[in-house]
Structure 1
Amino acid sequence: MATRGAARIDVVRALRQESEPVPAGRAEEVARVLPREVLFAAPPAPGPARPADREWALGAAWSHQGRTATGTAAVHYGAGHDRLVKPMIIADGFNHGPSDLAGLWNQLDAPYPPHQQRLLTQLLAQGIDVVLLGFGARHTHIQANAGVAASCVRRAIGERAGNAPLIVGGLGVGGLITRYALAEMESRGEDHQTETYLSYDTPHNGAWIPLILQQLAYFAQSLVPAGQADLISSPMAQQVLWAWVESGRYSGPVATASLLRVEFLEDLRRVGWFPVRPRKLGVANGAADGTGRNIPPDEPVFEWSALGGLAGASVRTQPEGGQDRLVGGMRALPMWASRSYTSQVPSFDGAPGGTLAAYGTVADGLGTPIESKYRSACFVPSVSSVALQFDPLEWPVDLYTDITALSPEHSQLDDYHCDAQNSEHGKVTAPLAEWILDQLGK
């Protein structure tokens, strides 16, 4: 089946032919049992948000491959301010469609234990002006949205009273967008006047969504075209995910399946990899001591069956490396039946890192039960969010590295902090919030 070497996936089609006539009404039957939402897209955090003091409509400082992105910023003045004095730009992250800045506020200002304090409220109390940066299409090319981030930096400089340096960063992929924007501005000789760069659980070296779940999204979309794979197939996902597939029937390499990721990494190197001038800080929702989640490799996650077995899917956790290891299969007879096998792919699911309810999202969409421990798997490994020095295509690194035992030069950040335990990607917790407040208060 597969040849030894680079990480890959191989799909075996279980039907001798898929061209026989489809019984009348079968497609409609299948449509009724498949999910219709964009899979892996997170809903906005609920609740009323603090009204913004100002809103900026933003164009991009540059285009990318003929695409000019747009965005919006919600400006919240710090305590005692009636204008920008000490701006902190926080860019939105991994998701589909336009940003919901109210939802972003609610996510980052959610009360955290043990004292139910709120991060953004505390930043405002410190006299920091919070500028939440959203994008017209979060899922487009990182370089394109970086042009919007650069415009936001320029606007903040232009409207700032005084000369306090900026703090610029982002949540998840928002940290990659602002990282690229600041580095690009430096490469053009532009003064971004940013003293501190801050990334929040950013996939500096890549993120992970199980390959079998990616294929299930394509499977659903091919049978019921309702955008189920729109996020997983988007330019941003292709640029960020370490392992990616282009369809439910794709066989081949996964770390270099998309040229968009290869080209994005080349563009990052062209502009300097990281911005040079700012102090580079980062926090990770994953644990630092190498402790992962209780998700063993190569175990069944769920088995779904509908229409008397005519439609169904089996899903397993990602095995650890190996050759031609079964990760699952799917069927909608007589249109589709396949099994998927991976080779040389690490067992990302249980690794230390910020988590995403990837398995739970798909199981819920199919209406099938799933054991609670399997609902969430690693999305941004700790070794990625603290930007350890390793090849982001080859990943020659132990996912369970004890980061606490490493010397500072192993990271490309100047300083970082990990959560006490593996928490949900982008969640504000006391260890991370307190470290950020301490660092920005220096």
Structure 2
Amino acid sequence: MPRSVAWSAEEAGGGAGVLTSLARGRAPAARDRRPAPRRPAMHRAAPATLLPAAALAASLALAPPRSAAAPDAAAPARLARFGGAPSAPVARLAEWRQLYFELRGDPGRAAWPTLDELSGRARAARAAGAVPLALVDAVADGGRTVAAAALVPHTHRGGAVAFRLDPALVASDAPAALARLEFDADDGLGFRPLALGAPLEARYAAPGPRAPALRLTRADGSVAVARFAFDVRALAAPVPDDTLVVTGATPHLGGVASARAYVRLAPGHSAIVNPVVVPEGFDLDNSLGWDELWALLNQQGLADTLGALGYDAVVLDFDDATDHIERNAHALVALLAELSSTLPPGATAALVGPSMGGLVARYALAWMEAHGQPHRVRAFVSFDAPHRGANIPLGIQYWVQFFADQSADAAFLLSRLQTPAARQMLVYHLTEPPSSSPGADPLRADFLANLDAVGGWPARPRLTACANGSGAAAGQGFPAAAQIIRYEFDNFVVRILGNVWAVPDGGTAKIFDGRIRILFISDTQRAVTVTGTLPYDHAPGGWRATMTQMDTTEAPYGDIVALHPAHAFIPTVSALDVAGVGLFHDVLADPDLLARTPFAAVYAPAENEEHVTVTPANKLWFLGEITRPLVDAPTAPAAPALALSPVAPNPSRGAVALRFRLPAAGRARLAVFDAAGRAVAAPLDAALGAGAHAVAWDGRGAGGRRVPPGVYLARLEAGGAAVARRFVVLD
């Protein structure tokens, strides 16, 4: 049976012991929605010299095909489902968007805001600290349609959450006819008055799905109720200790980007002294805020563990994460420059780049070095970032384009495919007309040229990378050119096709076949065939469940069927930037792997995992890289530094020696933490003189019992600085 192994040449020397085995047997299973067998991870490190974001997949609710000469016969029944009766169904956000999309298609409602404009107004409302609500009250097809939605359909602060319905988010044929509004938050308190533009607070007792409702009374005395889905994900979430607003100082193509840096200080810190900087990835609709980004960062308790170890989280949230990567990189440059000027002497930062954030960080660091600007980043950890490109199946891209006139979300996703960042990352991008020899959008070549112009990679930090894709060449469970989506409906009046295939491995194959035929009225068809592609769709890689999400869509005609659940989004060889190999290269079996990458250490699981998933196994790897001793930093302070020697023996079956040096007299504290960030022992807390010292720890916790086998961190604090060492306790 394979095992998970970690090694580093610097730990093998100097008599400090060799970390030969992190875990034997099967590694902990990562979160995976697919019933796939899992094998343990393997990672390697060379001698010395840390997130949801990122896929174009959502609920794709199709409207029945429209024609000016053939009105939608299904529309009255569909719209009547949301007629305002107390028994009307609970509307999901995707359903509400689709209803709004169809109603706004009436020429008489052309003045209604677009869905993009509504999203912008929702972001403004959310920035004011409330969950933005939206309401539709319109006459359609001889009946009344009343539907409501929370435009941010969840909260992490259910213990005290405010809802708000702004006048700009009310779409009505006769807004003056709304005489009274009431709101039931489904919190047990029933309906209470709701004033437009004013917050209404709810307090939930437990997390879980809810069905709040708006009740409107019109001037004619008629009453309607609209219920909608809302998810209370948590009752409380950490509050940032500070929020820094940064703007790039260097324009790219005439524009600059801005961002907010949310700061969460480690316990006991009053300012940023030991930062871990995390720029966000590709935020499809720029809806991710602090709560969502923190939840992604805190998978497996990673952020909490880092805080317990004395690290300050600095999470960068771009105003527009779909903008040019270079523009957002300059916003990160502004943040790093600010940190560089305010950190204590000798302090450095770790920079974790998840998904597109890895490209942003890579460009920012390389640009700063090319222009002689200090960044004080000692470690750059790339997390499933598309250094050699990202993949959304090209057939699905053409599916989205074909049905964009029928689906609100298809139209939205098509607009997202056309954003600068998507065009810079995707290895295959749709064209109009379709090309039989597909390739990347020209913006990708421009971005790669700009990277090369600043050196390609930064030279000062230690570079490491974690992939979610299989390092053992495991594919996604289907072959090249396999059909991945089947959508077919046929009756006397309507025929609909929307079939999708994976790209072929060379050769020629059809990847999309679409048709919308309305008897005697119209017949729209498109088929896309490609030649000479690489098999990106089923390659080893961090996956996205795009096909599964399409499968769960309720289509008005027929059924969208996912023949396979997920596709490769970030190929393993892309996340690890492995040069000169194919997509199915067995990186874990490659003895020369590190010579093929710019990284000093890499991590890849044996089985494919969902993109930017933190697992119990890679969490330990992240902790090891982020907490790596300061001696690996490219610059050293002029004054004597706080130093903690490697723990000896390592691994250990009994007592260990903790040797350290204080640059000045003062209070010193040594603590031992487990992999979850819990303090298990405090061998030292005393005032000491400057110079060398040693403390023995017997391997026992506060209760006198031996700690269980596992990975531990010894952390020394003194004089406002801290250093840590990793070691292993065996049975």
TM-score tier by shorter-chain length is: 0.7 to 0.9
Residue 561 of structure 2: SS of its match in structure 1? coil
Q: State the 1:378 CA deviation.
A: 0.6
User: In the TM superposition, what are the counterparts of 1:23-422 in structure 2 within 5 Å?
Assistant: 23-25=69-71, 46-47=233-234, 48-98=236-286, 99-111=288-300, 118-224=301-407, 226-247=411-432, 249-256=433-440, 258-306=441-489, 308=491, 309-323=494-508, 325-333=509-517, 334=522, 336-365=524-553, 367=555, 368-371=559-562, 374-390=564-580, 397-406=581-590, 407=592, 408-422=594-608
Q: Distance in 1 between matches of 2:552 and 2:497?
A: 14
Maintained 8 Å contact 2:437/2:532: no
Q: State the 1:222 CA deviation.
A: 4.1
Code of the aligned partner of 2:625: Q
Code of the aligned partner of 2:579: Q
Q: Distance in 1 between matches of 2:427 and 2:153?
A: 24
User: Gapped runs of 5+ residues in structure 1?
Assistant: 1-20, 112-117, 391-396
Code of the aligned partner of 2:627: G
Code of the aligned partner of 2:267: A
Q: Distance in 2 between matches of 1:57 and 1:290?
A: 43
Q: State the 1:414 CA deviation.
A: 1.7
Code of the aligned partner of 1:132: V
Residue 542 of structure 2: SS of its match in structure 1? strand
Closer, same or farther in 2 for the Cα pair 1:26/1:336, shift >3 Å? farther
Residue 216 of structure 1: SS of its match in structure 2? helix
Maintained 8 Å contact 1:318/1:349: yes
Maintained 8 Å contact 2:436/2:529: no
Maintained 8 Å contact 1:295/1:377: no
Maintained 8 Å contact 2:487/2:561: no
Alignment match, 1:426:
612
User: Gapped runs of 5+ residues in structure 2?
Assistant: 1-66, 80-93, 99-114, 116-151, 157-232, 629-731
Maintained 8 Å contact 1:213/1:362: no
Residue 71 of structure 1: SS of its match in structure 2? strand
- State the TM-score, normalizing by the size of structure 2: 0.52
Q: Deviations over 1:382-411 (max 9, x none)?
A: 001011124xxxxxx321101123211111
Residue 261 of structure 2: SS of its match in structure 1? strand
Closer, same or farther in 2 for the Cα pair 1:60/1:252, shift >3 Å? farther
Q: State the 1:246 CA deviation.
A: 3.2
Maintained 8 Å contact 1:172/1:201: yes
Q: State the 1:223 CA deviation.
A: 4.7
Q: Distance in 2 between matches of 1:264 and 1:430?
A: 34
Maintained 8 Å contact 1:285/1:426: yes
Q: Distance in 2 between matches of 1:426 and 1:224?
A: 28
Q: Distance in 2 between matches of 1:92 and 1:168?
A: 12
Q: Distance in 1 between matches of 2:461 and 2:153?
A: 33
Q: Distance in 2 between matches of 1:193 and 1:242?
A: 33
Closer, same or farther in 2 for the Cα pair 1:139/1:211, shift >3 Å? same
Maintained 8 Å contact 1:169/1:179: no
Q: Deviations over 1:150-188 (max 9, x none)?
A: 111122223323431111231100000010011111111
Q: State the 1:300 CA deviation.
A: 2.4
Q: Distance in 2 between matches of 1:125 and 1:253?
A: 52
Code of the aligned partner of 2:561: I
Q: Distance in 2 between matches of 1:302 and 1:275?
A: 41
Code of the aligned partner of 1:398: G
Code of the aligned partner of 1:411: T
Higher relative contact order (CA 8 A, sep 6+): 1
Code of the aligned partner of 1:352: P
Code of the aligned partner of 2:259: G
Q: Distance in 2 between matches of 1:80 and 1:281?
A: 29
Residue 229 of structure 1: SS of its match in structure 2? helix
Q: Deviations over 1:129-153 (max 9, x none)?
A: 1111111111110001101111111
Q: State the 1:315 CA deviation.
A: 1.5
Closer, same or farther in 2 for the Cα pair 1:322/1:252, shift >3 Å? closer
Residue 403 of structure 2: SS of its match in structure 1? helix
Q: Deviations over 1:58-92 (max 9, x none)?
A: 21132210111111111111232121011111111
Q: Distance in 2 between matches of 1:263 and 1:162?
A: 38
Maintained 8 Å contact 2:398/2:512: no
Closer, same or farther in 2 for the Cα pair 1:61/1:419, shift >3 Å? farther
Code of the aligned partner of 1:23: A
Maintained 8 Å contact 1:389/1:412: no
Q: State the 1:22 CA deviation.
A: 5.2
Q: Deviations over 1:267-306 (max 9, x none)?
A: 0000000111111011000121112221222222232235
Maintained 8 Å contact 1:205/1:385: yes
Maintained 8 Å contact 2:399/2:500: no
Structure with the bigger percentage of strand: 2
Maintained 8 Å contact 1:288/1:382: yes
Maintained 8 Å contact 1:76/1:130: yes
Closer, same or farther in 2 for the Cα pair 1:405/1:335, shift >3 Å? same
Maintained 8 Å contact 1:150/1:185: yes
Q: Distance in 2 between matches of 1:212 and 1:119?
A: 37
Q: How many residues align?
A: 401
Closer, same or farther in 2 for the Cα pair 1:43/1:276, shift >3 Å? farther
Q: Distance in 1 between matches of 2:488 and 2:414?
A: 21
Code of the aligned partner of 2:423: Q
Residue 314 of structure 2: SS of its match in structure 1? strand
